[in-house]
Chains A and B, each alone.
Chain A
């Protein structure tokens, strides 16, 4: 339905579309409503109650993230009632939260911290029971600290709706509810694929990439936008770099291809970058460089050369083989790490220049 509805937010009349939520309409018109459990890439949940607004003729405050617009709604985003309710929810969240922002990895990149700051909530209103959950660091990639979890369920939704794995769910009820994995096992023993989408959407420090721990505050990190080199999909990622070393990798929000999400390799598979065994320059066998023959079973030592030398050698050898043994004695195997364009060119090379149809592709990344 593209029909328009006129709604009033904080005294301002705006045109919203039917099918939109109040939050969507407000955002489109630059009106700020704070959120915590809502995430643009995920279906709304209505759990955190931070986006509550006052709507005339509604019995209670309503979450802007789920309430659909309709003609004539009159909405207040920052009435005294709304502010009190938001503070109330923040006080409650902080009353069961470690308050260790000084050493918390998420400091400076934490929605809960931002909201507490915005509403002046310090977290000392209640001195009640606090959870003491053990930390789950069972896997190589993600550290789970349930003490910092606010049960916004962004991770649950990301796992179900983005990755389609449903490895994360809520266990138990009420005050004792917590986020768990698989059949309440460790993350390692669950069906988790470690795509890290849960880490991407977690608004606090409850889910954190292991490799980034202790490596720097957000403001100390240089952010480099790039395209993931793992496959031809072309996910945009942001490398967070400190002292010329990759500290963390996150997806680029609103990137056309991946909308901020990645797979396990793009996010966590970057240890090769700084690995001492990594080849950064071409090498050829010494005997090939000297134009000689291989002696016995030994292939001889490697010699580091420049690209022209290496490519010349490869093309010379390919022509030699084609001329001596025929085109079909050569097969070409290309990689899914290459782009479409690169693979197209390899196809041309194989069929037109070498003259063979022996070309295949791993396409299994």
Chain B
């Protein structure tokens, strides 16, 4: 393939690419032109499905298709993440748009014979709603998808991320063509400003204004950086986009580079994302091959290069100044701002840093206009929010919803509620640096400002749901342990403050809490927030502050009553045999790893609390419900 020299030849490539997607259709949309007798089988190639052996499913399907001589009629395509990771490996069959869940390699022959040839739906592989037991064979009719609005994820799970033609068939690189040939850099910035797009990395700074500051600087060269160092535990929004639709991010970066007058861009991706890195590399090579990167892009005279940099595993490198230090080859540590990177960034040159999702949304905004984007979401937070939904929730996975949707809708309509009929207790947004919200806040609209007002943060998009079995002290401790371990150690409040705060929490959960500890938590938190150098230190106390604010009685129970109401904190619980239920079967005694259980056959057993390690194995193995925690 030669370089795409101008807009006309891009059109040409587009028309040639359209048949590739003729069988498939985007969410809710009609298949464009179904090809008679041809099928597309899409296998999810996201990290989650790969981990649950989707590659074996693919191999098995290929073998079966080959055996039946159907290679001409059935294409097997690996796509990016569909988001419904709890049900993986996922297989979608087009043109019927049937979604099969938790497919095993052994299901391949059935799928080929029944669905691809027989046009029959395999009911047992179809999604079944956990409560209503209703089955949903059609992909976009599943409640998990029905409530979503996929802009960032519009190509994820639909196209082959390793084939640039499939991206072009989705009008890929048309926004770039439009920007480079019909718009001045100022006009591009105006559209992005008018769209109200706010940075999806978490802070929600207005993207267009950030671009404008960088664009106005007289200093050259300028740089562009894509922050793909997604490090929140359980968050995988950026990874899924890079794995499923890498070209949208590249296109957004090139447009941004044109708008601010940058010479080069860097993608800083964490090394723990090998698949994303592999797909970025493939996408970069294809973009260069097609001439969307390099010299004189689309004959416009604009030249731009993108380089990939891999992180070395530090969470703090998601902080923009630490990220820049890491790209420069220095220790990944933040430095005080101002000056902000838009004034003095990479190698002290003006640098625009945006998140993966922010760049990924840019092409659609340029193509469809600012008004179109403002049509979604709320006036102050237009567009959509992408969340990695996880924890005690039925539909674990990746979702994209319009801003302004309530937490309740996300958790119950999309997320399918809490498993095993348990009660909802809290939802943590903003990852380990965010905050949790209680049931009373479930009707909070999800947008940048409302979440902060309610006591949590938007963050980059992790959403962790916990149920009644979770101890909020333990929950806060989990995030605090993570954040304090990830402190870079540069500033005093974060380096030592995080550790001292953790020590207070450890004390409380070990049953050694003192009445003044709650004031101490507030004192340390307040000062860490005020005095720390970067957002990591400032927000490290966030989960503790939020949980103390909404679940204060639970903290007080730990301290004053020496009780863990959720019966989680090992220092505050005792395992006891319920004498009436115990049959003396000796199963618990045999399984206790600490040797804490004594008792003869057919006689009531006894657990020695001084030896017991509170591992819970006895409860699991007891068939007579004869062990309780108190």
Closest to B538 in A: A60
Q: Does A88 contact B (CB under 8 A)?
A: yes
Inter-chain contacts of B494 with A (CB < 8 A): 174
Inter-chain contacts of B155 with A (CB < 8 A): none
Q: Does B182 contact A (CB under 8 A)?
A: no
Q: How far is the CA of A63 from the CA of B492 in the complex (A)?
A: 13
Inter-chain contacts of A129 with B (CB < 8 A): 499, 503
CB within 8 Å of A: which B473-515 residues: 484-500, 503
Q: Does B530 contact A (CB under 8 A)?
A: yes
Q: Does A52 contact B (CB under 8 A)?
A: yes
Closest to A93 in B: B492
Given known pairs A151-B489, A175-B495, A177-B495, the reply for A126 and B500 (CB within 8 Å) is: yes
Indicate the size class of the contact surface on chain B. 35 or more
B531 and A47: CB pair below 8 A? no
Q: Does A267 contact B (CB under 8 A)?
A: no
CB within 8 Å of A: which B300-353 residues: 314, 316, 331, 333, 335-336, 338-339
A175 and B486: CB pair below 8 A? no
Given known pairs A60-B538, A173-B488, A173-B489, the reply for A128 and B530 (CB within 8 Å) is: no
Indicate the size class of the contact surface on chain A. 35 or more
**Nearest-CB distance from B175 to chain A (Å)?**
34
Contact with B along A32-65 (1 / 0, CB 8 A): 0000000000000111110010000000111100
CB within 8 Å of B: which A201-240 residues: none
Q: Does B529 contact A (CB under 8 A)?
A: yes
Contact with B along A83-98 (1 / 0, CB 8 A): 0110011001101100
Q: How far is the CA of A310 from the CA of B561 in the complex (A)?
A: 93
The SS class assigned to the B binding surface is helix
Q: How far is the CA of A169 from the CA of B330 in the complex (A)?
A: 11
Given known pairs A66-B336, A68-B339, A129-B499, the reply for A173 and B487 (CB within 8 Å) is: yes
From B336, B489, B491, B496, A172 is in contact (CB under 8 Å) with B489
Inter-chain contacts of B498 with A (CB < 8 A): 174-175
**Nearest-CB distance from B432 to chain A (Å)?**
13
A174 and B530: CB pair below 8 A? no
**Nearest-CB distance from A214 to chain B (Å)?**
30
Q: Does A170 contact B (CB under 8 A)?
A: yes
A173 and B338: CB pair below 8 A? no
Q: Does B527 contact A (CB under 8 A)?
A: yes
Given known pairs A85-B527, A93-B496, A96-B496, the reply for A174 and B487 (CB within 8 Å) is: yes
B492 and A128: CB pair below 8 A? no
B491 and A49: CB pair below 8 A? yes
Q: Does B533 contact A (CB under 8 A)?
A: yes
Contact with A along B451-490 (1 / 0, CB 8 A): 0000000000000000000000000000000001111111
Q: How far is the CA of A169 from the CA of B335 in the complex (A)?
A: 16
A88 and B497: CB pair below 8 A? yes
Given known pairs A47-B533, A61-B531, A84-B527, the reply for A92 and B500 (CB within 8 Å) is: yes
Q: How far is the CA of A170 from the CA of B314 in the complex (A)?
A: 15
A88 and B336: CB pair below 8 A? no
A174 and B484: CB pair below 8 A? yes
Residues of B within 8 A of A (CB): 314, 316, 331, 333, 335-336, 338-339, 484-500, 503, 523-524, 527, 529-533, 538
Jot down 9 A-B pairs with beta carbons below 8 A, ordered by A.
A45-B490, A47-B490, A63-B336, A63-B533, A151-B490, A170-B331, A172-B489, A174-B487, A174-B499
